Chain A
């Protein structure tokens, strides 16, 4: 048995990583209510791009993420315009199918370009840790967690303080009303989708030095990120961060005190429990709009 303190540190750090992976999905799933099955694929595409920059130019993956962000945002824009916008009008169920198809296509293209072998980046901090007293704080996880906090704060500020943020809030809470004041929900949607996809660059960078990856790694992360957003409640960036940490801690404590075998089932169990008992998520309040529809 490891100490509770150590288990909590691991849990919080890995929770930060989960939150980082889920940042994009909080916006698409949370605000736009789009189930984007390609989130894992976007993440792993970012990972490969960061890996390529690290391998060819020796660029630190975290710095590389800032470069990768732009093409990813562009990709998000294209996907939104060509696929999402069109299908959301017909049947949101089809969006699930189409984004799942996108994930398959992305996996195939990655396999064609980089092959099926395991890859990883090893910046100097990848296997180092800071030892404080008897406690261990792995540097890689710490950086990923700080990145998660930074992005959460940045997204929150964007939503709270900028015109785009207000437009996003308006469009998600009341599309008809938003249209009346000149905000076209579809255009706002494109922006959200671009930002969401762009932000996967950071999750991707963290993934590149935390884990080994192959093109089909996307499956694993899709499940984790979905649970983070569902637990967090829709549209709440801070809620998603809290949910990530909750998930990480639950997993870490399960590993330490219950059974290693059940640790990977924790996200699944939490989803089931939360959705059957509190369908609106842990960190949101029921609003009048939710009730009326």
Chain B
């Protein structure tokens, strides 16, 4: 019965099967890949399109079904066996779970040889989940350099930096194709030479969440050199007027989170009563 259904599916035009596969989530794609070598080939493009790369094991409950979770060593092995799968990666998240304060992890450097192979990358996310926040300056020069090269790859449109401190916005100064930037829970974001950049590059969307005041001031200076169309501001409104004045001529879409503004008042009241 399964075989009959399988051949019925495979008798459809390839682009139709491909379209159907585009709706499946990772567990279903994995099941398809295991069912038949032919289907496995068709599935690869979707299975590897969005990868979350870990430097340590992640608790299963923390995983979602939209991304393929792989340890760095697993991805290296798969790419060394089938180099072409690197071309399928559109969305790559590098997720640091090792605490650099306790372990001088070299795992991140293991990824360096394969990073240039992601030639079709559209989105890259660099995120820390140690709870301490990872300092960009404490990463090795080799990794920082490789990440910078990735930012300059032609198809890359979307950059997301989460829970990283000391991230230099100047890394993005010459990335002409980057259209979307996310800075969530970043501290001490800085920009060395904001005044010497011409303000012509369009940034379709900028998302800021829980960044410290020093970072916000740097972002405000940097925004003067960009034409920001869409701004998502998910934190207290302090310094928002200055940020708005930085994108006065280009902003068409604004997202605000009032809960952040009122939450502090609520917690203040709760603290007062307790």
A and B part of one assembly = no
